């Protein structure tokens, strides 16, 4: 799922997302959209779908991760989270109920429960207290969700989030609690936030043994191509990450043969296509040397080309994974593609 934090996937317009990249669903961010453009504008527009002209599914996170990242400017209580805007320093208060109300107004097809995202290095006592709070907040989110409706008339889903840091007993407890709620889908949060990669895989495997297999399982904020492939093997269905666009804007290009740093001197005189058999039209339209030039002079077109290429590559990768799952040879295919996509070119 391409990430459109403030209502836009950076440097990419919706026709490219649909027709060239092939995105089926994109993300919006509750915290950022609440601050700007604000709920009044979104409601007047008829929701984010109409505001940004994206007529396919959309998912919003609850703002929990942003509140987590504002450690020095937020205060947690049983009632909710008070935080200071990173824009103007104004103070705001999110409760589980308010997070649901905001996402109703945004109009996302999939909404996230409000949670506390525990740091990857949290000690056991902190992680347990945090999970206790997240579970109480989940009950309040679900109650609010049941008593409200989408103001624009379409159906919305609410996904609970499994927390518990890197502690197996907490993750198991959280997954059992979430599975019992019978939601349309379930999310796995609090990973890729500083813990060792192997711990992330261990927690994903443990949680997915418990979460229902017939409901989508969404690993939040992950990740590198290799992380995605490993998580798919462990039963994850949905992903989002800013990496394709953010890294692309910094000159890192993911390809079927490996990773290229377009700022490197070696591409200066390389007039071959960005990727001969790439997933996007930009791959054969432009050369490596031209893309390197654009990125080195900070030309906006370079940022666009890199973002389109990387997003198309990520969508291609998960589509290929799906094909090989259906064909029954994913386990044979994964080591080969992993060897390719992790190579430094």
Q: pLDDT for 150-196, tens place per residue?
A: 999 999 999 999 999 999 999 999 999 999 999 999 999 999 998 99
**Full-model pTM:** 0.96
CATH 3.20.20.105 in the chain is located at 14-241
* Contacts for 78 with CB less than 8 Å, ≥ 6 apart: 133, 136
For the segment 275-294, what is each residue's pLDDT rounded down to a tens digit?
999 999 999 999 999 999 99
Residue 66 marked as a ligand binder: no
Res 66: pLDDT: 74
State the pLDDT confidence band at 92, using cuts at 50, 70 and 90: very high
**CATH fold group of domain 14-241:** TIM Barrel (3.20.20)
Question: Residue 92, by phi and psi: left (phi above 0), alpha (psi -120 to 50) or beta?
Answer: beta
- Show which residues are catalytic: 61, 240
- 163: annotated binding-site residue? yes
Please check if 65 is assigned to a binding site: yes
Mean pLDDT of the chain: 96
| CB atoms near residue 90 (< 10 Å) | 9
Sheet arrangement for strand 186-188: 161-162, 186-188, 217-219, 238-239
Helix locations, the chain, DSSP H: 14-15, 30-35, 39-45, 48-52, 64-69, 96-106, 124-147, 168-179, 197-208, 225-233, 243-249, 282-285, 288-296, 300-327, 330-341
- What's residue 86's pLDDT? 87
* Strands lying side by side in the sheet with 58-61: 26-29, 58-61, 110-112, 157-159
pLDDT at 243 over 90: yes
Q: What is the rounded CA–CA span in Å between residue 102 and residue 82?
A: 16
Encode pLDDT of 16-35 as tens digits. Answer: 999 999 999 999 999 999 99
Q: Is 254 annotated as a binding residue?
A: no
Residue in the structure block whose two tokens are 């960005």: 274
Q: 61 among the known binding-site residues?
A: yes
Which residue bears the tokens 């992330």?
Answer: 200
Q: Which run of H or of E encompasses 82?
A: strand 81-84
Q: Say how far apart CA 114 and CA 307 lie, in whole Å.
A: 30
Binding residue per annotation — 63? yes
Residue 70 reports pLDDT greater than 80: no
pLDDT beyond 90 at 317: yes
Per-residue confidence (pLDDT) for residue 307, from 0 to 100:
98
Q: Is 330 known as a binding-site position?
A: no
**Residue 76 φ/ψ region, left for φ over 0, alpha for ψ in the -120 to 50 degree band, beta for the rest:** beta
Helix axes 225-233, 197-208, angle to 10 degrees: 30
185 is in an annotated binding site: no
pLDDT at 65: 76
Measured CA to CA, the distance from residue 321 to residue 339 in angstroms comes to: 15
Closest CA to 310 of 324, 295, 297: 295
């Amino acid at each position: 799922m391409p990430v459109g934090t403030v209502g836009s996937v950076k440097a990419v317009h919706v026709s490219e997302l649909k027709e060239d990249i092939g995105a089926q669903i994109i993300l919006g961010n509750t915290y950022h959209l609440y601050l700007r453009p604000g709920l009044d504008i979104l409601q007047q527009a008829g929701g984010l779908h109409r505001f940004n002209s994206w007529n396919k599914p959309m998912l919003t996170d609850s703002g929990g991760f942003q509140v987590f990242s504002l450690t020095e400017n937020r205060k947690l209580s049983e009632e909710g989270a008070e935080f200071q805007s990173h824009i103007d320093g104004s103070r705001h208060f999110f409760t589980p109920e308010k997070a649901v109300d905001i996402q109703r107004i945004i109009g996302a097809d999939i909404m996230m429960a409000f949670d506390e995202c525990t740091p990857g290095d949290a000690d056991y006592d902190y992680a347990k207290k945090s999970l206790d709070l997240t579970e109480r907040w989940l009950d309040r989110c679900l109650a609010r969700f049941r008593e409200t409706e989408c103001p624009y008339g379409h159906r919305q889903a609410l996904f609970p989030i499994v927390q518990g840091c890197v502690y197996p007993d907490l993750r198991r407890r959280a997954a059992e609690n979430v599975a019992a709620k019978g939601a349309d889908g379930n999310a796995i949060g609090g990973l890729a936030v500083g813990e060792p990669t192997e711990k992330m895989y261990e927690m994903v495997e443990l949680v997915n043994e418990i979460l229902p297999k017939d409901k989508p399982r969404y690993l939040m904020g992950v990740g590198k191509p290799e992380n995605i492939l490993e998580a798919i093997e462990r039963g994850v269905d949905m992903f989002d990450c800013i990496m394709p666009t953010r890294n692309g804007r910094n000159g890192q290009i993911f390809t079927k043969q490996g990773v290229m740093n377009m700022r490197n001197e070696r591409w200066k005189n390389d007039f071959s296509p960005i990727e001969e058999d790439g997933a996007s039209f930009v791959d054969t339209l432009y050369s490596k040397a031209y893309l390197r030039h654009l990125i080195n002079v900070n030309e906006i077109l370079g940022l666009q080309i890199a973002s389109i290429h990387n997003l198309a590559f990520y969508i291609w990768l998960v589509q290929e994974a799906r094909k090989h799952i259906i064909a029954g040879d994913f386990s044979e295919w994964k080591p080969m593609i992993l060897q390719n996509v992790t190579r430094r070119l």
